[in-house]
Amino acid sequence: MVQPNSIPHPYQQQNSNVPSSTSSAPSSASSSKSVTRRSRMGCLTCRQRKKRCCESRPKCTECGRLGLNCVWPKPGTEHKNKPKDQKEDENTIEHEIYGRIKVLRGIVEYRSQ
């Protein structure tokens, strides 16, 4: 008979003598990494190709290098991110509406029997 404690859990470290791959001391490679600046308003061509845009106008470096037509969005046409609480309010309202629809369907089904 197999004892329950003899089978190791797949996520438990099996041998404490083996050094773990995640150490508490930061490695020199990760501490020397520079912070990558995220593109805020890349050209539409780079966005469509899912490439990083340097945002130089009128033609970004990537489009110039590949000989592509560099297209920029018109000012004021960018989608603004909604505030987090506005998204939560919309989700709450949507949840309430679906709940009411479910109740109404139940009433209609009950009366049609």
pLDDT band at 102 (very low <50, low <70, confident <90, very high): very high
CATH architecture for the domain at 40-71: Irregular (4.10)
> What are the sequence ranges of the domains in the chain?
40-71, 83-113
Nearest to 70 by CA among 87, 85, 53, 82: 53
pLDDT at 99 over 80: yes
Digit-coded pLDDT (tens) for 29-85: 555 676 665 556 788 888 888 888 888 888 898 898 888 889 888 876 666 666 666
